[in-house]
Amino acid sequence: MTTATDVEVVDLATTPLRELNQRLHDGAAGGPLRWRIVNPNGAHAVAVGVDAPFEIEIEGHTGYYTAGMNKHAHVRVNGNVGVGCGENIMSGTIHITGNASQACAATGRGGLVIVEGDAAARCGISMKGVEIVVKGSIGHMSAFMAQSGALVVCGDAGDSLGDSIYETHIYVRGSVEGLGADCIEKELKEFHREELGRLLTAAGADAKVDEFKRYGSARRLYNFNIDHAGEY
């Protein structure tokens, strides 16, 4: 019999990745709530498709799609992550203590993703409700076609930020290399100040709301207009 304080330790140096993920899926029906994964050694698809309120700690760097499709679980990666970490996250949290490669939290529908370091290109592309806080900087084409949710960047942003954006709120503390099509600087209203403050607190970020600028959609691309044909 397991209790809430028990920790299930899985060593990926000796346990096949497929077995780990199957155990996490089966565990949704009952079993340990806390998991510790050691020696990931850059493995891809670690802890994908979890659908349970687990606390999962991964000790080391991981490859592609770490914690993809996460639902309910709280995942912490003590290291860097590869492409697509948190892809299509539904709920829960993913906390990355290092850097994130491209397409972090792409298409995410809910939950919170925190990156202590930098995130590479296309962070939050096509996001649909996820909230992302990057304490470092982000690469180009981030929040491309982002539909809803919020992206907070405590550092700088690369070129083509928010290209073809819908209604996602983008907050950047540092400089922006360039804005994408239909993305403009917008007023930081009281609602946005409250949202930004909440996210900074949730991420434990050492930054003040007044240091940020907000970016969002100019709403010129919602309907076809011949005068804007070159921007489609």
- Write the pLDDT tens digit of every residue in 107-116: 999 999 999 9
- In the beta sheet, which residues pair with residue 179? 161
Q: What is the pLDDT of residues 75-90, one digit of tens each?
A: 999 999 999 999 999 9
Phi, psi of 151 (to 5 degrees): -125, 120
CA–CA dist 206, 213 (Å, integer) = 16
pLDDT at 31: 82
Q: Which two tokens stand for residue 100?
A: 């994130």
Which residue in this structure is represented by tokens 């290291």?
A: 79
1-13: average pLDDT = 80
Give the chain's domain count: 1
165-175: average pLDDT = 97
**Is 84 inside any structural domain?**
yes
**Is 83 inside any structural domain?**
yes
Model confidence band, residue 211 (pLDDT cutoffs 50, 70, 90): very high
pLDDT at 228: 61
**Is 30 inside any structural domain?**
no
Contacts of 50 (CB under 8 A, 6+ apart): 24, 25, 28, 56, 67, 69, 70, 71, 72, 73, 75, 92
Please give the order of strands across the beta sheet that includes 55-59. Answer: 7-11, 34-38, 55-59, 74-77, 93-96, 112-115, 128-134, 148-153, 169-172, 213-217, 183-186
Mean model confidence pLDDT for the chain: 94
* pLDDT exceeds 80 at position 143: yes
pLDDT at 1: 41
**Is 215 inside any structural domain?**
yes
Q: Which amino acid is at 177?
A: E
User: Domain with 158 in it: what CATH number?
Assistant: 2.160.20.60
CB-side neighbour CA atoms (13 Å) of 74: 4
Q: Which amino acid is at 181?
A: A
Contacts of 39 (CB under 8 A, 6+ apart): 11, 12, 13, 59, 60
pLDDT at 30: 83
CA–CA dist 184, 86 (Å, integer) = 27
> Residue 155's domain spans which residues?
44-220
